[in-house]
Amino acid sequence: MKNELIVVCGGGGFIGGHLVADLIRRGHTNVRSVDVKPLEEWFQVSEVAENVVADLKERTNCKMAVRGASEVYNLAADMGGMGFIENNKALCMLSVLINTHLLQASVEAGVERFFYASSACVYNADKQVSEDVIPLKEDDAYPAMPEDGYGWEKLFSERMCRHFREDFGLTTRVARFHNVYGPFGSWDCGREKAPAAMCRKLTHARATGNHDIEVWGDGKQTRSFMYIDDCLKGIDMIMHSDVTEPINLGSNELVTINGLVDMVAEIAGIEVTKRHKLDAPKGVNGRNSDNTKIQQYLGWEPGVRLHDGMQKTFAWIEGEYAAKQRLSVAGQST
């Protein structure tokens, strides 16, 4: 059914842009990409897709966006890295309007399948107090104590998807993303996450010769990071599965933030001195994905090792950094 309309909400964002490109690569000919940002600010713009600029917090725009759609992917949210999330809780919470109005509009439009991009930030904070983390299972979201602001919005929206499935018959699928990274995303605007931030910092260090690297927190906090290609495959499998419960979608390859810095330094080919900023936002002390259920249900596991994915990400950010420097020099000379 390659000609049925697929709508990607948040298509101007990092994951959404990759999803649109992936759908088109796989032969889908009728893709509508919707984002609130002006088109020139989208990370990727497909010439094949129908590209729509609209604020999906408005119900009228949601009705327009999903009209005629067979499938809807909701990746639209006001979010970023930990620095943005901890300092913009109200803005993150307002994204609940997007999912609410999209679900209502999808029921009215007769949409067949609805995908919601949730987050590991829904998990109970008491399960994430130690760097020696026990991987988070899906049941660990309750009793509820998610990340303040962003995590509460995600958890509430998960429940809304469940009840729209139960009450209105809309087929909904929910994936809990664990730190997705890769090219074509935020890297220098304050919304970037740790992998992109480290690539930017190490690129700048190599370009300037100043090898002092600021690290938020003590660097002992542990995380797992999933490369975008693995994320796209997981989204497709979950969307078209019979799995009705929210399910983890992430890597279980654990790394400390200090270890991530060392990895990127090795990729950059330089030695660095870490300067730990202990009063900076650092999130929970430990978080990792338990992939038991997705392996059991779908036979999925990530195929890209962190070092390989970081090499690709570093190369892209290095190119973006160089392009920005050239523009800056050209601007100063005019």
What confidence tens digit (pLDDT) does each residue in 224-247 have? 999 999 999 999 999 999 999 999
Which of these CATH numbers, 3.30.70.100, 3.40.50.720, 3.60.21.70, 2.40.160.40, describes 5-181+226-249? 3.40.50.720
Active-site annotation holds for 142: no
Q: What is the mean pLDDT of residues 268-274?
A: 97
Task: Tell me what pLDDT residue 133 has.
Answer: 77
pTM of the predicted structure, to 2 decimals: 0.93
20 CB burial (10 A radius; 0-12, 13-18, 19+): buried
Q: How confident is the model at residue 319 (pLDDT cuts 50, 70, 90)?
A: very high
Helix axes 306-333, 194-208, angle to 10 degrees: 50
Task: Tell me what pLDDT residue 305 has.
Answer: 97
123: closest CA among 191, 176, 82? 176
Task: Tell me what pLDDT residue 141 has.
Answer: 95
Q: Which of 150, 181, 227, 321 is catalytic?
A: 150
Task: Tell me what pLDDT residue 280 has.
Answer: 87
Task: Tell me what pLDDT residue 308 has.
Answer: 98
Query: Taking 90 as the threshold, does the pLDDT of residue 264 lie above it?
Result: yes
Q: How far apart are alpha carbons 286 and 19 in whole angstroms?
A: 28
Residue 105, amino acid? A
Query: Taking 70 as the threshold, does the pLDDT of residue 1 lie above it?
Result: no
Q: Over the chain, what is the mean pLDDT?
A: 94
**pLDDT tens per residue across span 191-208:** 898 999 999 999 999 999
* Angle, CA 198 vertex, CA 194 and CA 204 arms, to 5°: 150
Q: How confident is the model at residue 52 (pLDDT cuts 50, 70, 90)?
A: very high
**In the chain, pLDDT over 70 holds for what percent of residues?**
99
DSSP β-ladder status, 31-35 and 50-53: parallel
Residue 328, amino acid? S
Query: Taking 80 as the threshold, does the pLDDT of residue 334 lie above it?
Result: no
